[in-house]
Amino acid sequence: MPPVLSALHILHPRLSLYVKPLFLRKFPLPRRSVPINPRTLSSVASAQSSTENGDSRGRSGSLSAPPSLLEEAVQKIDVNPPKGTRDFPPEEMRLRNWLFHNFREVSRLYGFEEVDFPVLESEALFIRKAGEEIKDQLYCFEDRGNRRVALRPELTPSLARLVIQKGKSVPLPLKWFAVGQCWRYERMTRGRRREHYQWNMDIIGVPEVTAEAELISSIVTFFKRIGVTASDVGFKVSSRKVLQEVLRCYSISENLFGKVCIIIDKIEKIPMDEIKKDLKSVGMSEEAVEDLLRVLSIKSLTKLEEILGGAGEAVADLKQLFSLAEKFGILSGFSLMHQLSVALPITLGFDREGKLRAICGGGRYDRLLSTFGGDDIPACGFGFGDAVIVELLKEKGILPELSLQVENIVCALDGDLQGAAATVATILRDKGQSVDLVLENKPLKWVFKRAARINAERLILVGNTEWQRGMVGVKILSSGEQYEVKLNELE
């Protein structure tokens, strides 16, 4: 038998039945000098001897390394997840499930249906929306069919693809939501990872600002559910239409609009002198730059309306949005702030202390579908990441305490009663109750510690005398009350 196979055979005798065909050739392991502990060698020899002598005590799957593997040890792998990604051990998974439950519950309250898409999509789908520069942020590769694919960095392109695919088979409007994992290779900061989960809510087929008002209301409802208040967060609302009206007032040509928007969008990120310099570099006069920046600082819609002469649908849409926000009850608890210095047509959720990046963001994408070859349909939506909101909850000290909770712990007082304990566990599970069945013969002291760790409500003891009478012992762990109950009356 080849040396590698014999080592595997020692680790798990039955494994050789399945791996023989794979070891027709010898694959030498890299030789490394490793310190050998005599105790380890003696325990390995003992385990090998027990196996050869047919002693099956202990766990058959235990990984006690034989001497052959100790001599040619394999280097231990890095046990940390890839940079920018996360493990979800039980305590983190409970938090994630709690957050996702609130995402889904708010979506349900607003009548949205859940959808999902492949994590792996065509690379072209994202390049078509964001341009070639997105390639630097994609986890992309060529699959075995010579197709360029990528892990999705966002959900909206997949949503657009699905809407086009469904065509007229689905009646409008569509109110869809998704909670999905996204991947983006970028510089990491607090609340920004290379892998995150995102909650999206989208309304397809409604051109009116009632859609935006509904979406903002849903975000507010979510904040209220998890304990985030108006003193913690606020909303910045911008309108591309209003910005176009402002630029038109200062005779800024249409071909400069895109460049000016990109510069304006940096107002809160770089010094004002650099903003002025950049605006002049695209062809704006010094007077026009000063006037534009003065107007952009206006927060009052009334004053803005005076400058624009009250004309056009741009300001009218914003006024309607604020009016609807009041009727939704948003303004009674959360502030909605108009901000022209955000060039994109978005609603942005931010923390008031300014310690974190945007909590959520969204807007209208009426012309997105034609980017992918479909017919344009009015659409708007938002994205809400899991990482930043968790950081905010930590910052405010309002992360929920989510401990493991099991209703019953069932224990056999004798090893011969393990089957009886399994019967009791099955009866309770069939009735919808959670049960932690003690699978080994453990002392009661261990069982009580286990019950405390999992926050069990009651302990079910299966003893020989009680079982012969068709009964089990019950202990209510919160009060210490004890009693016996017939098996068929156990609830």
Question: Is 184 assigned a ligand-binding role in the annotation?
Answer: yes
Question: Is 154 assigned a ligand-binding role in the annotation?
Answer: yes
Cβ-based neighbours of 394, under 8 Å, separated by 6 or more: none
CB 369: neighbour CB atoms within 10 A? 20
Question: Is 202 assigned a ligand-binding role in the annotation?
Answer: yes
Question: Is 232 assigned a ligand-binding role in the annotation?
Answer: no
Going by C-alpha positions, the residue among 229, 206, 218, 204 that lies closest to residue 108 is 218
Do the beta carbons of residue 334 and residue 237 sit within 8 Å? no
Extract the runs of DSSP E, i.e. beta strands, from 124-256: 139-142, 148-151, 174-183, 195-204, 233-237
Do the beta carbons of residue 355 and residue 388 sit within 8 Å? no
Beta bridge partners of 149: 122, 141
Q: DSSP letter string over 406-429?
A: -SEEEEESSGGGHHHHHHHHHHHH
Question: Is 75 assigned a ligand-binding role in the annotation?
Answer: no
Burial class of residue 440 in the structure, from the number of CB atoms within 10 Å of its CB (0-12 exposed, 13-18 middle, 19+ buried): exposed
Going by C-alpha positions, the residue among 363, 371, 355 that lies closest to residue 339 is 363
Amino acid present at 480 = G
Question: Is 317 assigned a ligand-binding role in the annotation?
Answer: no
Do the beta carbons of residue 366 and residue 376 sit within 8 Å? yes
Distance CA 138, CA 67 (A): 45
DSSP element (H, E) containing 301: helix 301-308
Binding site membership: which residues? 154-156, 184, 198, 202
Q: Which residues are annotated as a binding site for L-histidine?
A: 154-156, 184, 198, 202
